[in-house]
Amino acid sequence: MLPNILVINSGSSSIKYELLEMPEGRVLVKGLLERIGSGDARLKHWETNASNPTHEKISQVNAPDHQAAFDLVFKALASAIEFGAIAHRVVHGGSRFASATRVTDDVIKAIEELSAFAPLHNPINLNGIAICHRRFPGIPQVAVFDTAYHHTLPPRAYRYAIPELWYQTFGIRRYGFHGTSHHYVAQKAAAFLGKSLAETSVISLHLGNGASAAAIAKGQCVDTSMGFTPLEGLMMGARSGDIDPAIPTYLQTFHQMEASRIDWQLNHASGLTALTGTNDVRELIIRSQQGEASATLALDMYCYRIKKYIGAYWAVMGGIDALIFTGGVGENAAMVRSLVCDGLAHLGLIIDDAANKSQNADVCDIAQTGQKTRILVIRTHEELQIAQETWALLN
């Protein structure tokens, strides 16, 4: 097999791609085609070469649908080194898929069936698989599932207290998401701490527009905040996170709101967006510093919810080696990290302010010197994790 793996992350309005040389994991090419179907699509493409290792090209493109978008991606990749496999991020693998899986007709059928659990994601992921298969019929394709890393959850963590029929027949349970990110940063944390993953216990906070927490004990995930869908858990950019489950039925019964409208608003018009009109944490930090009450409240709520999950996971794990911040917000928002850890000195979580503001490496320790529990900021690299799992499967 050729050593290079093309990783595809196909979303509802974007395609993120990365070509990696394995087994070293060196990034050769990467890019992002966004705003598909908007009439204002944009392609950002980076290539690594000896003469210009950070060459970047940004183009306005015409991408009315995903087929057109993939055609543009393939054209951008035309000058790249050939690849031996294509790996796809697939959001929901249900109870069936616990690891990277070679794509076959049976696997495609199973992902289709699981689309009921992730109707906004799995069909788009499948579309990407189909387009790549038509373009490169002889190249093996692999599906890597967001839910796979959470298969180690014990029943006490993944079961809901609901009628047995709902669980046995309808498959309603906690599945968890962001698994590739949580897995990747847990490994990076173990290496940084000089321990094996099997000896390392961490709480991982993946904070982006979507956000989730994971309790990882001795290298295995034992609890996570997202549930049957990515809506449960932490407050997010546009998702509500945890709410009273009676709220949707109340809105249906007494205010005649349709289920589809409630679902859309909880997933796309809640969270930071509902409170402030934006999901951009950078903007909210500025607005809060300027004295805007709604921005200050939103950040306070956001960080308070995170802090509660840290306390809950700490209690069930009996202590950790490190608290990890990752994702776009976790990696870049020093103020959020500070607010989250404020008041957690009794758990040994004390931030060094200077380190928190100046971190610039792939793994940075921002805890005060002398503290037993470290606070790590780790740049996640989900594409590399997907490529590594694909490489291991095919070799």
Catalytic positions: 146
Size (the chain), residues: 395
SS3 state at 37: coil
Report the side by side order of strands in the sheet with 202-207: 220-224, 211-217, 202-207, 322-326, 374-378, 363-365
Instruction: Calculate helix-pair angle for 293-317, 281-289, nearest 10 degrees.
Output: 120
Two tokens at 149?
A: 């890393």
CA-nearest of 116, 113, 84, 85 to 97 is 113
Q: Residue 79 half-sphere exposure, CB side, CA atoms within 13 Å?
A: 8
Two tokens at 136?
A: 């490169």
Q: H-helix or E-strand containing 317?
A: helix 293-317
CB neighbour list of residue 341: distance below 8 Å, 6 or more residues apart: 323, 349, 350, 351, 375
Distances in Å between the Cα of 177 and the Cα atoms of 91, 101, 330 are 7, 17, 17
Residue 292 φ then ψ, to 5° = -75, 120
How do beta strands 202-207 and 141-145 pair?
unpaired
How do beta strands 26-34 and 374-378 pair?
unpaired
Q: H-helix or E-strand containing 355?
A: helix 353-358
Cβ count within 10 A of residue 358: 11
Nearest-angstrom CA–CA distance, 32 and 89: 14
CB neighbour list of residue 69: distance below 8 Å, 6 or more residues apart: 15, 33, 36, 41, 63
CB neighbour list of residue 304: distance below 8 Å, 6 or more residues apart: none
Two tokens at 167?
A: 């669980």
Two tokens at 173?
A: 């349970």
